Amino acid sequence: MIYQMTYVSKVADGVTLSDCKAIAAHSEKNNARDGVTGCLMLCDGWFLQVLEGAIGAVNRIYERIIKDPRHRYPTILGAGYQMQRNFPVWQMRLVHVRDIEAIAAVIRRYHASSAFDPISLTSESCISLLNDPMALEDSNRKGP
């Protein structure tokens, strides 16, 4: 069994894409050490992150994360045990969604509304969304 936590937060003012890439790169190293995997989505000023691993390791990381000034209002959407990891090969994959319109149809599949309103997503819909690589890759290819 693996412990999994999903949360959302607002990206703090002044935090750039380059800062987010640095967070993901640093997280990859820390999480590899701690046996934690997951995915960090950056979309329309929101972070949406899934952390999975041993309960102690995930909680220790989350305790650090909530003190981080690079985001605000972290809100846990769900946490609990799963049979297996959803992101077994990613120590922390950064998914940057630039084109909200491009993923509206994908969001609609997992959520009643097509608006990206992460606070109202369930952790299950987040996992499904983050596991829809084709749609996310497609939206990533658009924009500068």
Binding site for ligand FAD (CB under 6 A): 9, 23, 26-27, 30-31, 40, 47, 49, 51, 61, 64-65, 67-71, 92
Angle 123-130/100-110 helices, nearest 10 degrees? 130
**Distance of closest approach, residue 12 Cβ to ligand FAD, in angstroms:** 8
User: For the chain, how are helix, strand and coil distributed in percent, rounded to 5?
Assistant: 40, 30, 30
Which CB, 72 or 109, lies closer to ligand FAD?
Answer: 72
**Distance of closest approach, residue 6 Cβ to ligand FAD, in angstroms:** 12
**Distance of closest approach, residue 132 Cβ to ligand FAD, in angstroms:** 20
* Angle, alpha carbons 99-96-34 (nearest 5°): 160
Which CB, 35 or 143, lies closer to ligand FAD?
Answer: 35
Which CB, 51 or 107, lies closer to ligand FAD?
Answer: 51
Residue nearest to ligand FAD (CB): 30
Assigned token pair, 9: 């937060």
Using DSSP's 3-state secondary structure scheme, residue 41 falls into: strand
Q: Which residues contact 75 (CB under 8 A, 6 or more apart)?
A: 7, 8, 9, 119
Which CB, 34 or 125, lies closer to ligand FAD?
Answer: 34
Query: Whole-angstrom Cα distance, residue 49 to residue 42?
Result: 9
Query: Whole-angstrom Cα distance, residue 47 to residue 43?
Result: 7
Which CB, 14 or 134, lies closer to ligand FAD?
Answer: 14
**Distance of closest approach, residue 77 Cβ to ligand FAD, in angstroms:** 14
**Distance of closest approach, residue 92 Cβ to ligand FAD, in angstroms:** 5
